[in-house]
Amino acid sequence: MGVQLEDRTTIDMFVAPKIGRPKSNPYARDVQIRVNKREQRLRDKDKGMRRMEVKMPQELVDKLDAYASHHGCTRTDVVEQGLSQWFAMLEKNFD
């Protein structure tokens, strides 16, 4: 039985099986990560979001994480909600 180049169903019988997860992306993993991060930054920018880095004590981060997991949201959501409520309180006190 000969192998034809156009034969797509039986070609697997004549090739050694590849071990591991099938390759679905032509780029290396580090390139994929950079592309994905760039696309995420662009999506956030389109939503009107701005990146911000904050340093805070580990105890506070632990409390944020606990609150976020208990309420089923992200740490970012908790910080955003807290800051919004804090500014609302300040505006109420200045009126």
Task: Output the domain CATH number for residue 67.
Answer: 1.10.1220
85 inside domain: yes
Asked if residue 59 belongs to a domain, the reply is yes
pTM: 0.57
**Residue 34 included in any domain:** no
Q: By C-alpha distance, which of 48, 32, 58 is closest to 80? A: 48
Using the 8-state DSSP alphabet, how is residue 14 labeled?
G
Domain that holds residue 86: 53-95
What is the average pLDDT across 21-30?
A: 79
Q: Is residue 23 part of a domain?
A: no
pLDDT in tens, 36-83: 999 999 999 999 999 889 999 999 999 999 999 999 999 999 999 999
Enter the tokens of residue 82: 């807290």
Is residue 77 situated within a structural domain? yes
Q: Are 32 and 25 in contact (CB under 8 A)?
A: yes
- Indicate whether 93 belongs to any domain: yes
Answer whether residue 90 is part of any domain. Answer: yes
According to DSSP, residue 6 is labeled T
Total domains in the fold of the chain: 1
Q: Whole-angstrom Cα distance, residue 56 to residue 64?
A: 11
